[in-house]
Amino acid sequence: MFGRFQAIGLSLLFAFGALGCQDYGFEELPNSVVKEKRWTKTISIASEVDILFIIDNSGSMVGEQAQLGDSFKTFTAELEKYFGDKYHIAIATAGIQSSACPPCDQIIQQSCMNETGEGGRFQDRIGKNIGTIDVPEYTFRTDPECDRIVTILNKECFYDDTADEGFALVGVNGCGYERGLSAMKLALGDLTEGYNAGFLRDAATLAVVVISDEEDCGEVGDITEGTSIGGNACYFAAKGVDPEDNANDSAGLPYRLTPVEEYYNFLLGLKGGQEGMVKFAAIVGVKDVNSLSSTTIEYQLEGSRWGVVPACTTAGCTGKYCSADPGTRYIKLAQMFGIDDNGLVDTICQSDFSDTMKKIGSFVACPKRFLLQEELLDPDLANILINGEPVPQYSRSFTDKVEKCSELDSLTCEEGRCIQTWKYCSPGTPAGAASDCEAVCPPPSSEAPGGQIVFAPHYDPCELFEEGDQVHIELIYVTP
pLDDT, tens digit, 9 for 90 and up, residues 208-241 = 999 999 999 999 999 999 888 989 999 999 999 9
pLDDT at 130: 93
Q: How confident is the model at residue 324 (pLDDT cuts 50, 70, 90)?
A: very high
* C-beta atoms surrounding 307 within 10 Å: 15
Lowest mean pLDDT among 153-162, 286-295, 428-437: 428-437
Average pLDDT of the residues in 157-169: 92
pLDDT at 442: 81
Contact 344, 363 (CB under 8 A): yes
Of 89 and 22, the one with more pLDDT: 89
Q: How confident is the model at residue 466 (pLDDT cuts 50, 70, 90)?
A: low
Lowest mean pLDDT among 311-315, 337-341, 395-399, 442-446: 395-399
Domain boundaries, the chain: 2-45+370-478, 49-365
Contact 407, 418 (CB under 8 A): yes
Average pLDDT of the residues in 396-417: 70
Q: How confident is the model at residue 475 (pLDDT cuts 50, 70, 90)?
A: confident
pLDDT, tens digit, 9 for 90 and up, residues 34-79 = 456 776 766 666 778 999 999 999 887 877 887 777 788 888 888 8
pLDDT at 23: 43
- CATH number, span 49-365: 3.40.50.410
Average pLDDT of the residues in 91-110: 95
> What Å distances lie between residue 186 and 104, 119, 201, 266, 354, CA to CA?
20, 7, 17, 11, 29
CB hemisphere CA count around 463 (13 angstroms): 20
> What Å distances lie between residue 342 and 41, 304, 467, 480, CA to CA?
11, 43, 18, 28
Give the three-class secondary structure for 155. Answer: helix
Lowest mean pLDDT among 179-193, 210-224, 261-275, 340-354: 340-354
pLDDT at 469: 64
pLDDT, tens digit, 9 for 90 and up, residues 244-259 = 999 999 999 999 999 9
Compute the distance between CA of residue 188 and CA of residue 171 in angstroms, rounded to an integer.
Answer: 22
Q: What is the mean pLDDT of the chain?
A: 84
pLDDT reading at 8 higher than 70: no
**Residues facing 260 on adjacent strands:** none
pLDDT, tens digit, 9 for 90 and up, residues 272-311 = 988 778 999 999 999 999 999 999 999 999 888 899 999 9
pLDDT, tens digit, 9 for 90 and up, residues 114-134 = 999 999 999 999 999 999 878
CB neighbours of 13 closer than 8 A, spacing ≥ 6? Answer: 389
pLDDT at 376: 86
Contact 209, 364 (CB under 8 A): no
The 8-class DSSP code of residue 190 comes to G
Q: How confident is the model at residue 161 (pLDDT cuts 50, 70, 90)?
A: confident
Compute the distance between CA of residue 260 and CA of residue 262 in angstroms, rounded to an integer.
Answer: 5
pLDDT reading at 463 higher than 80: no
> For the chain, first and last CA: distance in Å?
42
Query: In what side-by-side order are the strands of the sheet with 205-211?
Result: 87-93, 49-55, 205-211, 278-284, 343-347
pLDDT at 468: 60
Contact 93, 170 (CB under 8 A): yes
Compute the distance between CA of residue 372 and CA of residue 8 in angstroms, rounded to an integer.
Answer: 28
pLDDT at 399: 63
Q: How confident is the model at residue 18 (pLDDT cuts 50, 70, 90)?
A: very low
